A and B are shown apart, each in its own frame.
Chain A
Amino acid sequence: MKMFFRGNTDYKKIIFLSLLAVQAIVLALVEAQLPFPGGIPGIKPGLANMITVVGLIFFSLCDTALIVLVRCITATLFVSGPILFIFSAAGGMLGAVVMWLLLKYAQRFFSLIGISIAGAVAHNAAQILVACFIMSDLSVMSYLPVLLTWGIFMGVFTGVCSTFMVKILKKLNFIANI
């Protein structure tokens, strides 16, 4: 965040951040077109989680939160209504914070797969909490086991994908000096 207030603007960083944000938006748009795979409606693969992991590895929590916010706002404009913005923003933010905590303090124990599983689970939990709050009814909780099972599978998938992405980006050495 500091780069916007300091005199010297870090254009390289801004460009890379916006590249990541665009990738997240495209993934969100693509996954909105996929049919929901059984179970409960509204279930989504959560591919944009991948970008959050990559952002957290190369940038700070603030920058990643910026990416998540931009992705949520744009996806809201394209796909869903204003209420679903609260959902995706709450889920994305909590997922980012949980993954940041794990990356900072528990990286010895978790690989990127475990971290993205934790992120997906936190995302689902936040969404269910927001849903309980909006509907003011606890029976929405009955969606939680289905969502968590789905979150584990998709967390493994996005974890593997982000491992490859981080490997390649580190090999490129483009962002090493940001």
Chain B
Amino acid sequence: MNIPMLKKGDIILVLILVFGILLAVISRNDSDESRISWNNANDPGREEVLAIIKQDDRLIRTVNLSKLKKREVIRLPGQFNEFIVADQKKICFMSADCPDRLCVKAGWISKPGQLAVCLHNRAMIKIVKKGDKELEGITK
């Protein structure tokens, strides 16, 4: 009848998981992307930031957020209506009529590596630095 609250395996499991999470976070910080953005934190205008809009495995549009002068609205086709607004140095899903609107709740994204996803429409905005390996792989 007596159920023990904690056993040795629990602590080991948590330690392994925390170690794995720390490893993942540290290895991501070590990759060039974050380090460069960290160094450029004082003058963020120097690096060019691109936003990639993908839907259904296709590249819809690439927006250069650094060079954008005025606000731009992009409409996504598909099962649900979605409007993406690109502004200077930031981009977001402005409105959508999908069921839970998680993409809108993600808010403005601006830093390389951030992403906003709409699962219902299979749409995604991803922010990358110019000259990134990932970018070349997509636009090919």
A interacts with B: yes
Task: List the interface of chain A (C-beta within 8 A of B).
Answer: 36, 40-42, 79-81, 83-84, 87, 106, 108-114, 117-118, 121, 131, 134-137, 139-140, 142, 144-145, 148-149, 152, 160, 163, 166-167, 170-171
Given contacts A87-B119, A111-B4, A113-B5, 7 further A-B contacts (CB under 8 A): A41-B106, A84-B120, A114-B10, A114-B13, A117-B13, A117-B14, A121-B17
Cβ B119 vs Cβ A84 within 8 A: yes
Instruction: Pull 24 A–B residue pairs with CB atoms less than 8 Å apart, ordered by A.
Output: A41-B102, A41-B105, A84-B100, A109-B9, A110-B9, A111-B5, A111-B9, A113-B5, A113-B6, A117-B13, A117-B17, A118-B13, A131-B117, A131-B119, A135-B54, A139-B134, A140-B117, A142-B28, A144-B24, A149-B21, A152-B18, A163-B5, A170-B1, A171-B1
| Total A-B pairs, Cβ < 8 A | 95
B25 proximal to A (CB < 8 A): yes
Which residues does chain A contribute within 8 Å of B1, judged by CB atoms? 167, 170-171
Which residues does chain B contribute within 8 Å of A149, judged by CB atoms? 21
From B25, which residue of chain A is reached at the shortest CB distance?
Answer: A145
Question: Which single member of B4, B6, B115 contacts A140 (CB below 8 Å)?
Answer: B115
Cβ A142 vs Cβ B115 within 8 A: yes
Which residues does chain A contribute within 8 Å of B122, judged by CB atoms? 134-135
Cβ B113 vs Cβ A142 within 8 A: yes
From B119, which residue of chain A is reached at the shortest CB distance?
Answer: A83
Which residues does chain A contribute within 8 Å of B117, judged by CB atoms? 131, 135, 140
Q: A-facing mask of B13-53, CB < 8 A → 1, else 0?
A: 11001101100110010000000000000000000000000
Nearest chain B CB to A94's CB is how many angstroms away? 16
Report the Cα distance A106→B9, complex, angstroms. 9
Cβ A114 vs Cβ B119 within 8 A: no
Nearest chain A CB to B21's CB is how many angstroms away? 5
From A151, which residue of chain B is reached at the shortest CB distance?
Answer: B17
Given contact pairs A41-B105, A131-B117, A109 touches B24 in the complex (Cβ within 8 A): no
B124 proximal to A (CB < 8 A): yes
From B99, which residue of chain A is reached at the shortest CB distance?
Answer: A81
